[in-house]
Structure 1
């Protein structure tokens, strides 16, 4: 039976955190996943809903400019002094005592602007991102002692894609905790990621247990409520609700199968400014990346590089790609627009930007899994036929438009018809951000107007046979920039030209700095600090290169994973030795600071439409000369900088490394891994196996509830759901109407975080 054959796929890692549940009962329903439609539009909607610009008149949202300026002036400047000038500035970096560092870099110029991009790659990438963040966080005592801790505190922007967006969103919607507390819980308000609870079948293999049925009922109720409001849904919505249960707050082990809370429903990406850490400017500005499938193309293969890449910030949704160059307020995403105006003054939508849906959109890979027309999924034919049948049953249940993408009402209808391929479309088909093999969310970091000097690349892709990165993603980004983004985005620095060169030079397996010595002023490229997932030091068995189809992580595995990544990042690289580099913390500081030596940084020259992104526009008036690189920092650059004229060699990598994955806590899943290996899916993305199962499970549940809707009873979201003997989806339209009425009467507000 197909279901029994696929049930092992249910063992998926989940993540759950628990900030104090929202006390207002109107905020505790999973129905809050439904957007509010037909809302009065703001008075300035016709003028400011959509910003349109060109590559040469590129600008940022005023709220983004204000946030970055305040964070850099009031918070980051002090963090720089603490990190690179702590007690031994002269001895460590060689630029002089602490006060001299401040004079040279903070007053006479400005501190470099740093961005961090966290790769996609499913749950492996989420954990890898967490491990790197932990290694760069000064709140981790070991990180602080070796000198890497502190870099996180000087980051202005953080971008995430697919699994990288999950850890990014999880950090923000749990109020920027330490990784230790976020992943493992703090015994107070945070419950940890609970990776031992399978994502799609949290109560185990039997999907018909009371607990699993309660879980599925809540998921389906959320999605059907959204559909009832008139907003088109798809498989991505159910996927988004699963993500919300685990990555957002309100969910703990004790309430997982109850409806005591909304399990993240109603938490909006545009509400991030209400989070205490963000209000205090203690966190970077988050950006989530998603790709788009040209409307009407029905592509089920890897995308080319031409389709628009979108970004979602707390303030705006849109793209800096020259073909579009337009942004809309995130708060009103979901509103149909034509020629930058709402259809009518009461036609606005709010609540569409559900945090789970934003993260689910960035990880929506369903279009590359199921080709309904041709059955191209590379499995046994009878399995394919059955899966297609189950998915077709789903289409009759809640799908109202494309089922294999994330459906976003287009706010850009009518814009740039000569260049924007979807100008005539009223809906956008959003998909996994890595659908064109750009698995690192670098596009937002290269936007000219942002003027980012240094980019930390957190690379957790699985490109090689042993699931290590090989440069595929960053090379794709470089190719796309050269083909389509020359006018709007900065170029990447020189790097090995092929994936084979990435491996042969060894830079795919160790920390490397790219772009250390620009030729122009301002620099023609940012300095890139490349931190790839790599074998651990000392010959330890690697556990962070878990297979693409890894579906569950025990507590022991997660602990080893996070610790191993932390050790690898803080150890740096010693040529032809298994010993850690005791100076890597110093070298990381040198790299992060290096653009500050220059008299003119890229951001100092970007002043589109009078909106300077430089927090200190007059900074260059007090220093016009380049600061020579210190002897100590030059020694670091000699070791870590990539020089295309003298490329390094993989022969210099630590000789004792092991590359094959070793499960640190086997739980009997070898049979599943063997099946997936034999199936040989021709797919991309590290979360494909997970998404395949989710798609099948969603379809099966929607089909099954048609036949058994009165047979399974469980706790439901309100008194309307508690009718004896009746399944929760009965009366959904009535409940949704009452919910909309309650919201329209002021019973719903954007959640405000209350952290104990």
Structure 2
């Protein structure tokens, strides 16, 4: 090669490298793309571990985490929460260090349940001074597991990816590296309801760039768009200043399997997180609620799979996205990593598009009129025109369980799993994951923010669904449920859907070992004031004032318990909550705790009544009907553009006014000049006569 040719080649190489570097720098959202053709781990038989309901085995990493957390963290957390336990009639030293294993399950349906779950967790958090003083703060710290689905997975993902801050910091920001939840910016049309709004177009452009980077290697769907939208509002890297730019990845590249690398996880500070998702049979195209025997999946930092007897198999989460047959890849370098994007996990758990996306005409059926449907239609049309996909109205997960349990597993012959919102089978609270036999929980806290009735309050449907599913399908693999009301109507008539309730208080010899369930439903304020927490599933924006009122109401209820036949909070509720949490560790219940259980326990032989909850308001009242803060915040976000527009308008008006004045002055001058000419003609009569004669010769005759 000659020197000139070598020089040109080197120059081109440098230029190309610069261009590529610039492209990467300008498009960090592209880190959403998974990495393919990765060397698979060497395993003797399979990447997939299988088991039976009778010989369930926890993942080794899960076992190590739970054991270490309970040994190094939870014992001290119990001491912090109970003190010497004298307030509830026990001696802490006599408990012998044997404490119940506790899990928390948060139900999900959009922004409402993300906020409701956040408020309740804040009320159970030792770090919240008010909650600690009221006795409820501390339960979060003694929990071993925390499961979430749909909208509550947004809360869980936000907590994890921001390394477990307090709820106050999480929702409102910490003034440093996290701006808080930007719920005032609509999830789908954040800038304005107009599809052609420049900021909306920038937002969608970044999202499409992420999804297209993934589509180069694996199928995508509306769920990918959805997850990326969620990440802008709940994960870190996004601020009001960079919301409409590609300056950061906006959560792209943050992986669920890397949760184990977080300092809070390394220190065993947090409960083991679990996200749940439903599925439909691949290729069925079902647009209705899925049957109870459809496989329910869970996602932990370690694994992806299902405890359902029909499958009973798990895959290391790191290699999710890999196509396997009988647990083996096509070749040793056919593995995929980076598929488990946090936003995609959160999007999968809340993927309700089978119910709202018409695959025939590509339109969404959102029950809203503020531009969300038009915006989703627009970005979805762009996705369809730019990317291929097997199915668009479910989350596409390459099937790692192909060939597993062909006699019972619904998708044993499918190449692709079609995952859906965790409440698609009406089990809106991911309780099943916490009732797995191998996990051996003694207490489960259920945070129910469901919108079951006409006023968007829960009526126990999720618990009833779990009860039926465990009884009919999961009896060999899961703990049984304790006695609960037999119907939704009974949940309402007994009032247990409107106040804290303990289920399973009195476990007698010979009964199956079910856990105590501490049920905390979304309910109207105790004092009879107007409720603001019963909002719809498809409300995709809340003003800052609305969020503050919402969370304060739910937080107050969490701290309040209930005092029968009054509108007052129970001053002993915090201690009663401690009684329920520790009950499985004591042999003889104290007098104080017995009184608590008489008030809060559900006794199927002595039913309570909703009449004990007087003066409740059930109809939603908007706490910020004008939504003025949203307008103010929109003005703040767009102040630079607006300033330019205002300057342009002022300049334009000034130009018009100046032109009018100039035109008027010109007309005035022309008028003056015209009169002067007339005067000159009158004052110079000689101009009207022949200059060749000294005689005055009129040029015209006046008759």
Q: Deviations over 1:324-344 (max 9, x none)?
A: 000000000001111111111
SS of the residue 2:103 aligns to: strand
The aligned residue for residue 509 of structure 1 is: 498
RMSD: 2.3
| Separation (CA, whole Å) in 1 of partners of 2:390 and 2:626 | 40
1:300 matched to 2:291? no
The alpha-carbon deviation at position 363 of structure 1 amounts to 0.4
Q: How does 1:480-559 map to 2 (within 5 A)?
A: 480-520=469-509, 524-559=513-548
Q: Deviations over 1:479-526 (max 9, x none)?
A: 011111000011110010000000000000000000001124796211
The aligned residue for residue 187 of structure 2 is: 199
SS of the residue 1:539 aligns to: coil
SS of the residue 1:502 aligns to: helix
The aligned residue for residue 104 of structure 1 is: 95
Q: Deviations over 1:445-471 (max 9, x none)?
A: 010000011000000000111111000
Tell me if the contact between 2:287 and 2:355 (Cα under 8 Å) persists in the aligned partners.
Answer: yes
The alpha-carbon deviation at position 40 of structure 1 amounts to 1.0
The alpha-carbon deviation at position 668 of structure 1 amounts to 6.5
CA change 1:206–1:385 in 2 (3 A) is: closer
Q: Deviations over 1:542-582 (max 9, x none)?
A: 11112333232111111111111111111101110011100
The alpha-carbon deviation at position 421 of structure 1 amounts to 1.4
| Separation (CA, whole Å) in 2 of partners of 1:483 and 1:548 | 29
Match among 323, 326, 334 for residue 321 of structure 2: 334
| Separation (CA, whole Å) in 1 of partners of 2:258 and 2:27 | 16
The aligned residue for residue 618 of structure 2 is: 659
Match among 42, 67, 73 for residue 75 of structure 1: 73
| Separation (CA, whole Å) in 2 of partners of 1:659 and 1:210 | 40
| Separation (CA, whole Å) in 2 of partners of 1:379 and 1:62 | 43
Tell me if the contact between 2:359 and 2:393 (Cα under 8 Å) persists in the aligned partners.
Answer: no
The alpha-carbon deviation at position 179 of structure 1 amounts to 0.5
The aligned residue for residue 730 of structure 1 is: none
SS of the residue 1:508 aligns to: helix
The aligned residue for residue 445 of structure 1 is: 434
| Separation (CA, whole Å) in 2 of partners of 1:419 and 1:209 | 50
| Separation (CA, whole Å) in 2 of partners of 1:179 and 1:570 | 15
Q: Deviations over 1:396-449 (max 9, x none)?
A: 431321010000001100010011111011110011111011100011101000
CA change 1:558–1:394 in 2 (3 A) is: same
Q: Mean Cα displacement is larger for which, 538-547 or 27-36?
A: 27-36
The alpha-carbon deviation at position 64 of structure 1 amounts to 0.2
The aligned residue for residue 15 of structure 2 is: none
Bigger relative contact order, structure 1 or 2, given CA contacts below 8 A and separation 6+? 1
The aligned residue for residue 332 of structure 2 is: 345
The aligned residue for residue 637 of structure 1 is: 597
CA change 1:629–1:149 in 2 (3 A) is: same
Tell me if the contact between 1:292 and 1:430 (Cα under 8 Å) persists in the aligned partners.
Answer: yes
The aligned residue for residue 35 of structure 1 is: 34
Q: Deviations over 1:605-628 (max 9, x none)?
A: xxxxxxxxxxxxxxxxxxxxxx21
| Separation (CA, whole Å) in 1 of partners of 2:430 and 2:300 | 13
| Separation (CA, whole Å) in 2 of partners of 1:105 and 1:270 | 36
| Separation (CA, whole Å) in 2 of partners of 1:259 and 1:454 | 45
CA change 1:378–1:131 in 2 (3 A) is: closer
Unaligned regions of 5+ residues in structure 1, if any?
1-24, 598-626, 670-756
CA change 1:181–1:377 in 2 (3 A) is: closer
SS of the residue 1:30 aligns to: helix
Q: How many residues align?
A: 601
CA change 1:214–1:376 in 2 (3 A) is: closer
| Separation (CA, whole Å) in 2 of partners of 1:342 and 1:318 | 17
Greater radius of gyration (CA): 2
Q: Deviations over 1:284-331 (max 9, x none)?
A: 110000001101211011111010000000000000000000000000
Q: Deviations over 1:13-66 (max 9, x none)?
A: xxxxxxxxxxxx87971111000011111223x545211000001111000000
| Separation (CA, whole Å) in 2 of partners of 1:379 and 1:275 | 37
| Separation (CA, whole Å) in 1 of partners of 2:509 and 2:237 | 50
Q: Deviations over 1:611-666 (max 9, x none)?
A: xxxxxxxxxxxxxxxx210000000000000000101011111x122111110001
The aligned residue for residue 691 of structure 1 is: none
Tell me if the contact between 2:359 and 2:392 (Cα under 8 Å) persists in the aligned partners.
Answer: no
CA change 1:536–1:305 in 2 (3 A) is: same
The aligned residue for residue 64 of structure 1 is: 62
The aligned residue for residue 411 of structure 2 is: 422
CA change 1:174–1:415 in 2 (3 A) is: same
The alpha-carbon deviation at position 376 of structure 1 amounts to 11
CA change 1:224–1:374 in 2 (3 A) is: closer
Q: How does 1:180-579 map to 2 (within 5 A)?
A: 180-228=168-216, 230-372=217-359, 394-520=383-509, 524-579=513-568
| Separation (CA, whole Å) in 1 of partners of 2:295 and 2:285 | 15
SS of the residue 2:278 aligns to: strand
The alpha-carbon deviation at position 389 of structure 1 amounts to 11
| Separation (CA, whole Å) in 1 of partners of 2:478 and 2:429 | 15
Match among 149, 152, 157 for residue 140 of structure 2: 152
Q: Mean Cα displacement is larger for which, 204-213 or 637-646?
A: 204-213
What TM-score do you get using the length of structure 2 for normalisation?
A: 0.83
CA change 1:518–1:219 in 2 (3 A) is: same
Tell me if the contact between 1:375 and 1:385 (Cα under 8 Å) persists in the aligned partners.
Answer: no
CA change 1:390–1:184 in 2 (3 A) is: closer
What TM-score do you get using the length of structure 1 for normalisation?
A: 0.77
CA change 1:64–1:300 in 2 (3 A) is: same
| Separation (CA, whole Å) in 2 of partners of 1:430 and 1:509 | 32
The aligned residue for residue 178 of structure 1 is: 166
Tell me if the contact between 1:27 and 1:262 (Cα under 8 Å) persists in the aligned partners.
Answer: no
Q: Mean Cα displacement is larger for which, 518-527 or 588-597?
A: 518-527
| Separation (CA, whole Å) in 2 of partners of 1:515 and 1:262 | 47
SS of the residue 2:389 aligns to: coil
CA change 1:521–1:136 in 2 (3 A) is: farther
Runs of 4+ in 1 over 3 A off after TM superposition: 25-28, 371-380, 383-396, 520-523
Tell me if the contact between 1:27 and 1:266 (Cα under 8 Å) persists in the aligned partners.
Answer: no
Q: Deviations over 1:573-601 (max 9, x none)?
A: 1110011100000000000000112xxxx
The alpha-carbon deviation at position 374 of structure 1 amounts to 9.5
